[in-house]
Amino acid sequence: MKKIGIIVKTKDSNALKILKEIYNWAMNSGYQLFIEKEAAQIIGVNGYERKEMAELIDIMVVLGGDGTMLSAARVAAPKEIPILGVNLGGLGFITEISKDSLYPSLEKIINGVCNIEERLMLTANIYREGSIIAEHIALNDIVINKGSLTRIFDIETFIEHTYVTTYKADGLIISTPTGSTAYNLSAGGPILYPTLNCIVITPICPHTLTNRPIVINDDQTIELTFKPQDDVLLTLDGQTGIALQPRDMVEIKKSKFKTRILLPCERDYFQILREKLKWGKR
């Protein structure tokens, strides 16, 4: 793993500082760096577009938070590039190593000492008049929520073409195990161990209190339809929004791609939960 791609949250001055340090470290250690264009321009070196970078690198290092990691995953996954996320001070469930342990972790990972964990991703197909008009992938979650209107709306839900229920709610979260500690958690959904082969469906503020989250197998397909008058938005990992039209149908299923996350050798998932969620503290 001699070719390292770097994705940086450029609005974070600390991330840019670490980028300069990594650049000097890589030059002295014999590694080749491919830095995202915007960040490269800031430090005065040649840069690459993300898709161009994905054709050239062995691993991808992300300097930022979970949001930066999620956007990088959608580029890296189709090319099966493993990703290392460096947490720069936010909550960070998938940016798992701290800046203090960056270089020892990098050396171990590059030398193949540590593990790579494959994470389930989701694909959303949008059907309009019987044909797919868009296809998108997500690592954390796919969310159906209201557009500009503030009232609840109806989400007719099928699993494997079998009718489940019509949720009357502010929206619906379809989450992977990786995303279970994100929006799903704040909406009252369960925490799922990140390598489980399952999907969780969590309603947002359901009008019926007995509508609870449902966990299904990851090989099952979910279909969602809405009333023609509803103003509905589909969002991917909280970053990309798509306005749906009346009578659109959204099909959500396991993606053919997986995100490959490079893990620090000493990583303990339950320790991460205790620290991030402050379990046992008063």
Q: How far apart are CA 79 and CA 128, in angstroms?
A: 29
- State yes or no: is 66 an active-site residue: yes
Provide CB contacts within 8 A for 29, sequence distance 6+: none
Distance CA 248, CA 254 (A): 20
Instruction: Find out whether 259 and 83 touch, Cβ atoms under 8 Å.
Output: yes
CB atoms within 10 A of CB 200: 22
Do 241 and 234 meet the contact criterion of CB atoms below 8 Å apart?
yes
**Active-site choice (12, 58, 66, 154):** 66
For β-strands 162-169 and 222-226, DSSP reports them as: unpaired
Indicate which residues carry an active-site annotation: 66
